[in-house]
Structure 1
Amino acid sequence: MKKINRVALIVLDSVGIGFAEDAADYGDLGANTLGHICDAVGLHVPHMASLGLGHIAILKGINPPGIAKGAYGKAIEVSKGKDTTTGHWEIAGQILHKPFPTYPDGFPAEILEPFEKATGRGTLGNKVASGTAIIDELGEEHMKTGKLIIYTSADSVFQIAAHEEVVPIEELYRYCEIARKMTDVGRVIARPFVGTPGNFSRTSNRHDYSLSPEHTILDDLKDAGQDVIGVGKISDIFNGKGITHSTRTKSNEEGIDITIQRLKEDSKGLIFTNLVDFDMLFGHRRDVVGYKNALEYFDQRLPEILSAMKDDDLLLITADHGNDPIFKGTDHTREHVPILIAGKHVNPVSIGVRRSFKDIADTIGELLLDKKAEGSFAKKIINKEESTN
């Protein structure tokens, strides 16, 4: 098997490819992020199509090539939950058998009262809400009173929205650190915004505070002296655990730029990128045209990513959950995620339906650490002739 020196793992946040077998348990039967976008507004992604996207599922307007340029398949999530943290942790090898707690009726007094005492500020909202809708609803009152806007979603999140001129960014981050110590939610999220009543907008100074996973492939790579380079909110999702270098980004464009920059540098190990705009700007807001445009933009940049790769690099593109912009509600959807794999030494083969996102971690472990694991598809995707080991 050809020697792979580095893996670039790019998570297209929320780009699901059809409801999972257990979708009914999550109220998501019928969800299909990519499929519904193709049906509603069309999708032109020739570079992902050439890697085998149309072989994974029937997608209107995306015709599969006779022979793909990459390996392709899809994966099922086995962890309990459909949020960002759960999905990324499983991709990295940790399966959650118990879901993070959710608060569909808002946070109880035993959480909010100590939080208000510790921050010295009252709170507004305390309900399940869309982030843009709740600042439109409560932003003016927040500016008059200084009270923090607290809200959650179907996911396990404690979100704090505050106007940057009322609550300075560093102060908001400190409040999030207080909430992180007081709750066992998957993520505490700072949601700063600016503007005037009737014209509020969220800023790119969002910051996520996650719990720490027990053990992932990131830890194994770091312990072996390899690089684990986080791009985007990866370090936040793993609470810095197993990360050797990290760069936060403010957009998909910046995330792609940084990934290309990291590929051009000399490193050994993993470049792990999250592109969040699909989820944050378009999925949750049910903006199907915006979602389409973001996917097409990524596809336009894909040749740049591929050309920046070295001969012994491997690119793996996947997702962490779905967020169908046409499906009901405004929350994540329980879906299969696509897997597209490219590189000089990659066989154009189907890897089928993987029974866990963890198969990605198992594969990375075999490619970079020569660790054998049941879920690895390394030997299937890498050609065998002229071994360089």
Structure 2
Amino acid sequence: MSRTVIVVVDGLGVGAMPDAGALRPGDLSADTLGHVLDHCRATNGRAPQLPALAALGLGLLRPHPALAAPSALPAAVARASLGYPGADTYAGHQTMMGADFSRVTVARLGERLAEVTGALKRAGHTVEPLDGRPLLVVDRHALVHDNLEADPGINWNVSGRLRDLPFERILGIARTVRAVAPVARVIAVGGHAEEPLPASVRQGDCGTVGLDTPATGFYRNGGLRVRHLGAPLDHSRQLPELAARAGIPVTLVGKAADILPCERALRRPAVPTGEVLAHTLAAVRAAGRAAGSDGTALVVANVQETDLAGHQQDPLRFGAVLEHVDRGLGALLAELDAPGDRLIVTGDHGNDPGIGHACHTREYVLVLVHRPGAPPLPGSGAGPARLPDASSLADVGATAAHSLGLDPGGLAGGSPLPV
């Protein structure tokens, strides 16, 4: 039996990678986890209480008084380089699951306006530039624009107010754009905003122009609808498909349900952290009860609200969400106690809320592996062991494949950590 659970804490970086300053020199000081802990302690008089993360050995990766609790958990910890260009949720998850992300192009929408405009008009849409700027107004209400929340040129968005257009129509426009887009993701976004969206358009980095999505109120007003349309990749060589072909039940939770392809997966989309954690725990418990099952299962969950707090540049909210995540991890640790079970806690990029901008930050991410029933690793005694840095997030998927008894060579990339 191996119930293998990957929990991605979206945007939780543990320090800048060496090339983090290539786009924004100030990003060399990025340290999402450290800055969140320090800000909360300075403002609230205490840092967030994270006993589960501390027990898993997070303090070995990012030393901090809040993470100094002794632990006897049989865990292994490592930092992982991202293994893909920039700092992006979609690219991070695809790389983590084993896809080859080398052919995706970085491009600003302004470089492809004629091509996108032609595709939309052929599909029967009305298309106009917005005040002569390099973004498009489609069917009077939807905006096609550069995504300002990731590094320039990685993603494009199609955004609309749900009072103006139903989400299905926004999604249809996004699919037309996706057919001609060379970038990693085209993201369809529908939400509720008091003002027309052009009021929140602003200049981004490196000549990009787009919607300041946090400023619209989409994230705080509720009812947000999002669909991620990814670049064509060989998804057959990703972990969910590899597991499903082997007859292993696969559950995708939170944003992972939106961005990871796998036709046979059970999907549990959710944004509120409590719902994400509840779905994850329920999937773990269901794996052991399934009729005719040996208990083997793969669960991949994404906690999105940490990333949203980073975009909102709100370290106090980030810290509060981390405490909520930690409580959920505690419940998962209590459940995943059989030999062969694995809990892998990781991230997809950084999103430092104190860095001075609302974009992702290119940081190393945590890889914490709970390994009940496994013998202690050399030099670790009874507690967590520090491993060498992983060269790519693809190593997370390869580690999970190995724990499930699958051949990691079936993935497009990655090598299992020695756990």
Candidates 91, 96, 112, aligned match of 2:96: 91
Q: For residues 97-176 of structure 1, what are the structure 2 equivalents within 5 Å?
A: 97-103=102-108, 105=110, 107-122=112-127, 146-152=140-146, 153=148, 154-155=151-152, 156-176=154-174
Any idea what SS the aligned residue of 1:196 has?
A: coil
* Distance in 2 between residues matched to 1:345 and 1:186, nearest whole Å: 40
State the Cα distance separating 1:146 from its structure 2 match: 3.0
Do the aligned residues in 1 keep the contact of 2:160 with 2:191 (CA within 8 Å)? yes
Aligned CA-pair RMSD = 2.8
Q: Indicate the residue corresponding to 2:393 in structure 1.
A: 357
1:201-243 Cα deviation digits (max 9, x unpaired) = 32322221123432222222122121221112224323x2465
State the Cα distance separating 1:256 from its structure 2 match: 0.7
Q: Indicate the residue corresponding to 1:177 in structure 2.
A: 175
Q: For residues 362-377 of structure 1, what are the structure 2 equivalents within 5 Å?
A: 362-371=398-407, 375-377=415-417
Q: Indicate the residue corresponding to 1:50 in structure 2.
A: 55
Amino acid at match of 1:29: L
Pair 1:228 & 2:264 matched: no
Q: Structure 1 95/33 Cα, relative in aligned 2: closer, same or farther at 3 Å? A: farther
When normalised by structure 2's length, the TM-score is: 0.78
Q: For residues 5-84 of structure 1, what are the structure 2 equivalents within 5 Å?
A: 5-27=2-24, 28-42=27-41, 43-65=48-70, 67-68=72-73, 70-84=75-89
Candidates 282, 301, 309, aligned match of 2:309: 282
Candidates 367, 389, 397, aligned match of 1:339: 367
Any idea what SS the aligned residue of 2:407 has?
A: coil
* Distance in 2 between residues matched to 1:6 and 1:23, nearest whole Å: 35
State the Cα distance separating 1:127 from its structure 2 match: 7.0
Any idea what SS the aligned residue of 1:150 has?
A: strand
* Distance in 1 between residues matched to 2:111 and 2:161, nearest whole Å: 21
Q: Indicate the residue corresponding to 2:191 in structure 1.
A: 193
Amino acid at match of 2:195: P
Q: Indicate the residue corresponding to 2:266 in structure 1.
A: 245
Q: Structure 1 26/58 Cα, relative in aligned 2: closer, same or farther at 3 Å? A: farther
Amino acid at match of 2:2: N
Amino acid at match of 1:57: R
Any idea what SS the aligned residue of 1:25 has?
A: coil
* Distance in 2 between residues matched to 1:96 and 1:61, nearest whole Å: 36
Deviates more, 1:191-200 or 1:221-230: 191-200
Task: Detail structure 1 runs of 4+ shifted over 6 Å in the superposition.
Answer: 126-129
State the Cα distance separating 1:360 from its structure 2 match: 1.4
Q: Structure 1 243/119 Cα, relative in aligned 2: closer, same or farther at 3 Å? A: farther
Amino acid at match of 2:108: Y
Q: Indicate the residue corresponding to 2:297 in structure 1.
A: 269
Pair 1:257 & 2:305 matched: no
Do the aligned residues in 1 keep the contact of 2:346 with 2:368 (CA within 8 Å)? yes
* Distance in 2 between residues matched to 1:105 and 1:182, nearest whole Å: 14
Pair 1:218 & 2:258 matched: no
State the Cα distance separating 1:150 from its structure 2 match: 2.3
Amino acid at match of 2:399: T
> How many equivalent pairs are there?
362
State the Cα distance separating 1:314 from its structure 2 match: 1.1
State the Cα distance separating 1:323 from its structure 2 match: 0.8
State the Cα distance separating 1:300 from its structure 2 match: 2.1
Specify every segment of 5 or more residues in structure 2 that has no aligned partner in the other structure, as ranges.
Answer: 42-47, 197-214, 288-294, 377-383
* Distance in 1 between residues matched to 2:56 and 2:35, nearest whole Å: 21
* Distance in 1 between residues matched to 2:279 and 2:349, nearest whole Å: 23
State the Cα distance separating 1:288 from its structure 2 match: 1.2
* Distance in 2 between residues matched to 1:287 and 1:66, nearest whole Å: 30
Any idea what SS the aligned residue of 1:213 has?
A: coil
Amino acid at match of 2:172: R
Amino acid at match of 1:15: L
Specify every segment of 5 or more residues in structure 1 that has no aligned partner in the other structure, as ranges.
Answer: 130-137, 382-389
Deviates more, 1:223-232 or 1:196-205: 196-205
Pair 1:293 & 2:320 matched: yes
* Distance in 1 between residues matched to 2:373 and 2:71, nearest whole Å: 19
State the Cα distance separating 1:148 from its structure 2 match: 1.3
**Identity in percent:** 23
Q: Structure 1 95/115 Cα, relative in aligned 2: closer, same or farther at 3 Å? A: same
Pair 1:324 & 2:352 matched: yes
Do the aligned residues in 2 keep the contact of 1:124 with 1:150 (CA within 8 Å)? no
Q: Indicate the residue corresponding to 2:226 in structure 1.
A: 206
State the Cα distance separating 1:123 from its structure 2 match: 5.0
Pair 1:309 & 2:349 matched: no
Amino acid at match of 1:362: A
* Distance in 2 between residues matched to 1:146 and 1:372, nearest whole Å: 48
